């Protein structure tokens, strides 16, 4: 989708109206798509994000190829926002809403719905700059979605590593992919343990961006993403209905790769490192077993209570590796676990941290971006639940109430 800032005679104009109805009408001035926004005076930042997406999804429903909006229509009384930030929010969410994953589908005769051109009228230079930033962010988010949506057979650890390298090519980010031999040399016993059951060798993806200068006193932010390219559950095999969608178990890894690409392409004056342990959790005669005790890169031993609690294992080695950067802070992003859905549903992601300042920052950013997060406790009292019997730690709760607090146990 191309976003431009000139009037197009062929474009259908999008008009935002009070109420909830949507209609397509022909007027003396041309075609108009009217979209109800509820009460305009009640539109807040949250509603702006969903409205931007609604505009694109509605236009696609009508199979419109050229649409036009007036930026002034998106300046609502209940929102204090600069032209630049408004352009960024709209550009990002327009791109996201235009996304469809139909790589494996045969196109219909009329083609897939696609908006080729979106004209934005009455803009300032700041707004136009914001749109360009937002569109880049949206495109990288869609790249992340492509990685996560690709079937596990076509998104192995090696392919994920290749995709990360390709996406960062042409930027000043440096990418290094650790091989199986290098992972063994680093004694990443948790990564190696999970990888044992698969014929696909693990990879450890390292992407570094030194926008503030490597010699700078600014400590880097380290992003760690779970990269389980397919999760069978291992010997603790998942039930059949839970296996579908397990290609998405590397969404955390995809997220941090895309985030680093955004930072590098925007040339931000920040030092950021992305780490992704990429592994397939398969079941086979060589797979790790319940009761096995693995030695982590840190030297701590971990007793395996459940082979389907593998994400926290590979993240453990990755977090140990992150220590060498002496980071200002570390954020790990992971599909960890299904218990988070039980706790929070699909409207928010769980956030676990003992840093209240960071928690508040992430919650604020979540409100602004539409990616909502909600805190769960990470109290020391929970540590007793993952204390090992024959090892230092356990990879799942050892308490009698093993089904409770699953996300918290994973975070601990």
Query: Within 10 Å of residue 109's Cβ, how many Cβ atoms?
Result: 4
Q: Is 289 annotated in the active site?
A: no
Distance from C-alpha of 130 to C-alpha of 115, rounded to nearest angstrom = 20
Q: Is 238 annotated in the active site?
A: yes
Domain 152-336 has CATH 3.40.630.10: yes
Tokens read off for 257: 């790769």
Cα of 303 vs its chain's centroid, Å? 30
Tokens read off for 94: 């327009």
The C-alpha torsion from 341 through 344 and 348 to 350, rounded to 10°, is -80
What's the whole-number mean pLDDT along residues 139-150? 99
- pLDDT of the residue at 155: 99
Cβ proximity of 322 and 330 under 8 Å: yes
Distance from C-alpha of 53 to C-alpha of 142, rounded to nearest angstrom = 14
Within this chain, domains 2-141 and 152-336 share the same CATH topology: no
The one catalytic residue in 238, 300, 387, 402 is 238
How confident is the model over 217-259, as pLDDT tens digits? 899 999 999 999 999 999 999 999 999 999 999 999 999 999 9
What's the whole-number mean pLDDT along residues 317-335? 98
Which is higher by pLDDT, 138 or 10?
A: 138
pLDDT category of residue 298 using cuts at 50, 70 and 90: very high
Domain boundaries, the chain: 2-141, 152-336
Tokens read off for 177: 């992919």
How confident is the model over 189-211, as pLDDT tens digits? 999 999 999 999 999 999 999 99
What's the whole-number mean pLDDT along residues 287-298? 99
Evaluate if residue 401 carries a pLDDT over 60: no
String of b and e for 194-225 (b: at least 16 CB within 10 Å)? bbbbbebbbbbbbbbbbbbeeeeeeebbbbbb
Pairing of strands 2-4, 329-333: unpaired
Sign of CA dihedral 306, 312, 318, 321: negative
The one catalytic residue in 88, 163, 226, 312 is 312
Q: What is the C-alpha radius of gyration for the chain, rounded to an integer number of angstroms?
A: 23
Cβ proximity of 252 and 302 under 8 Å: no
pLDDT category of residue 406 using cuts at 50, 70 and 90: confident
- pLDDT of the residue at 337: 85
Instruction: List residues bridging with 221 in a β-sheet.
Output: 272, 329
- pLDDT of the residue at 403: 60
Distance from C-alpha of 152 to C-alpha of 158, rounded to nearest angstrom = 12
CATH class of 2-141: alpha beta
Distance from C-alpha of 13 to C-alpha of 33, rounded to nearest angstrom = 6
Cβ proximity of 271 and 214 under 8 Å: yes
pLDDT category of residue 402 using cuts at 50, 70 and 90: low
- pLDDT of the residue at 405: 84
- pLDDT of the residue at 8: 82
Flag whether the pTM goes above 0.85: yes
């Amino acid at each position: 989708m191309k976003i431009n800032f000139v009037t197009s005679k062929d474009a259908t104009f999008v008009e935002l109206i009070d109420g909830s109805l949507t209609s397509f009408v022909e007027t003396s001035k041309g075609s108009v798509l009217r979209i109800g926004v509820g009460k305009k005076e009640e539109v807040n930042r949250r509603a702006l994000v969903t409205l931007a997406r609604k505009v694109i999804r509605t236009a696609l429903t009508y199979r419109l190829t050229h649409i036009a909006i007036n930026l002034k229509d998106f300046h609502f009384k209940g929102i204090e926002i600069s032209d630049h930030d408004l352009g960024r929010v709209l550009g990002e969410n327009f791109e996201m809403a235009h996304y469809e994953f139909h790589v494996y589908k045969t196109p219909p005769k009329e083609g897939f719905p696609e908006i080729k051109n979106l004209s934005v009228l009455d803009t300032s230079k700041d707004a136009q700059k914001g749109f360009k930033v937002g569109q880049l962010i949206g495109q990288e988010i869609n790249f992340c979605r492509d990685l996560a949506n690709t079937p596990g057979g076509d998104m192995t650890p090696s392919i994920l590593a290749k995709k990360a390298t390709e996406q960062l090519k042409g930027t000043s980010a440096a990418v290094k992919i650790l091989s199986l031999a290098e992972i063994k040399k680093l004694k990443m016993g948790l990564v190696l343990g999970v990888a044992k059951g698969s014929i696909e060798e693990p990879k450890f993806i390292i992407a570094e961006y030194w926008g503030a200068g490597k010699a700078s006193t600014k400590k880097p932010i380290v992003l760690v993403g779970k990269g389980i390219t397919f999760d069978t559950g291992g010997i603790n095999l998942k039930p059949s209905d839970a296996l579908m969608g397990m290609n998405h178990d590397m969404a955390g890894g995809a997220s941090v790769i895309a985030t680093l690409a955004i930072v590098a392409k925007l040339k931000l004056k920040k030092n950021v490192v992305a780490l992704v342990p990429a592994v397939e959790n398969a079941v086979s005669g060589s797979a790790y077993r319940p009761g096995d005790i693995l030695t982590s890169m840190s030297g701590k031993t971990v007793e395996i209570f459940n082979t389907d609690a593998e994400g926290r294992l590979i993240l453990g080695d990755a977090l140990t590796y992150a220590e060498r950067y002496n980071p200002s802070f570390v954020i790990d992003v992971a599909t960890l676990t299904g218990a988070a859905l039980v706790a929070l549903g699909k409207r928010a992601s769980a956030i676990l941290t003992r840093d209240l300042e960071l928690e508040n920052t992430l919650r604020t950013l979540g409100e602004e971006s539409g990616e909502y997060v909600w805190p769960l406790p990470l109290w020391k009292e929970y540590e007793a639940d993952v204390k090992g019997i024959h090892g230092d730690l356990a990879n799942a709760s050892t308490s009698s109430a093993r089904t409770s607090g699953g996300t918290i146990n994973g975070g601990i």
